[in-house]
A and B are shown apart, each in its own frame.
Chain A
Amino acid sequence: MMARTKFRKEADRLADLGADIVVLDEEESGRALVKRALGVLHLDHTAEHFTI
């Protein structure tokens, strides 16, 4: 099962309810922002360079 939600607490609740994959909007958009920022500055933006 997959689900999508906005906040961490809701994501944890969905995971507890049995969702196998929960996509957290804040985390995904935050990761995208950091990745784009590093890209704009021509820096290494592979995932190991940041965690949210």
Chain B
Amino acid sequence: MIPRVLHAVAVSRSRELFTLTVAGLCLGVAFLAAVMGLSVVLGAFVAGLAVSECMYKHRILSDVAPIKDLFPTIFFVSVGLGIELRPLIDDWALVLSIAAGLTVGKTILVAIIARVLGLGWRAATYAGIGLGSAGEFSLVLMGRSADMTAWPLDTDQSLLAAMALSMAMVPVLMRFAGPIGEWLEKNAPKWLRVERGNPSTHRGSVDLSDHAIVCGYGPVGRALVSALSAQGVPTVVIDLNAEAIRKLQATGQPALFADAAQGEVWDLCAADRARLVAFTFPATPAVEHAINVVREKIRPSP
């Protein structure tokens, strides 16, 4: 149902209405979950999953990008404020054990999953260590478990501290991900050497290089895509016309329903590896803004 609602709104081509609809859907499903006696967070999580599976995910990601960095900060600061130092000092061995066990166990598990999905050892190690800490959702679940007094209050504090510690260790451990991955590439037993696949194609992101990015799929955009494709140049189309994007995707043409003024879109299009970026619509203010965004992506300021 959510993709249908989003499609109906996307056809209107109103940016404000689209953003409001996405926020309304997420809040609405969260509220519905609460009414049904489930967790509000679980409801929001399910709504997020549904939204992330639809063709408008790139546009939604672009819209929420400016605020997505703010909320995790507030969340983690609030979690950090909940940690009491005294139990942490008294039970330091327990806290360290839980943090080490959690991080090592989850790192190995994620790395194995990444290998099974076809990633190389280096990428799998990065994925394992990057996702090896306790996740945000586990903190939410732990909060709910504590309400149900599943364990004593002091254990709750130790778990919270261990989770926070596992998160804090990630930036340090990430420095070793490259060397560990390279070592594994060379020294892993043969039976563990799975052939590399191409994971990006499964996720719907664009895996291209030396391609052309065509913004706008009006008559000029169509002519340009057709001319480039005829001469063997791969293209990616960006447009806010939902119907056009849907038809293009159905034919296998890489196409994003997205706003060219949003930075994340250019990451998805691999702008740093593109040979050409063409704005085919004559809307100077929008193109001015997009050019600035692209320049930042291609040549990041020091």
State the A residues within 8 Å of B (CB).
Answer: 26-27, 29-31, 33-34, 37-38, 40-41, 43-44, 49-52
- Tell me whether B230 is interfacial, beta carbon within 8 Å: yes
Chain A nearest Cβ from B232, distance in angstroms: 9
With contact pairs A37-B228, A37-B278, A41-B275 given, residues A30 and B223 touching in the complex (Cβ less than 8 Å): yes
**A51 and B223 contact, CB distance less than 8 A:** yes
Given the interface contacts A34-B223, A51-B223, does A41 sit within 8 Å of B280 by beta carbon?
A: no
**Residue pair A41, B212 in contact (C-beta under 8 Å):** yes
Per-residue A-contact encoding for B258-281, CB less than 8 Å = 1, 0 else: 000000000000000001101010
Query: How far apart are the CA atoms of A40 and B274 in the complex, in Å?
Result: 13
Which size class do B's interface residues fall under? 10 to 19
Task: Pick from B230, B275, B282: contact of A29, CB below 8 A.
Answer: B282
**A-facing residues in B212-230 (Cβ within 8 Å):** 212, 219-220, 223-224, 226-228, 230
Bound-state Cα–Cα, A44 to B232, Å: 11
Which residue of A27, A30, A44, A50 contacts B226 across the interface (Cβ within 8 Å)? Answer: A50
Contacts beyond the supplied A34-B223, A41-B233, A43-B228: 19 A-B pairs with Cβ under 8 Å: A26-B282, A27-B219, A29-B282, A33-B224, A33-B278, A34-B220, A34-B224, A37-B224, A37-B227, A37-B276, A38-B228, A38-B231, A41-B275, A49-B230, A50-B223, A50-B224, A50-B226, A51-B223, A52-B223
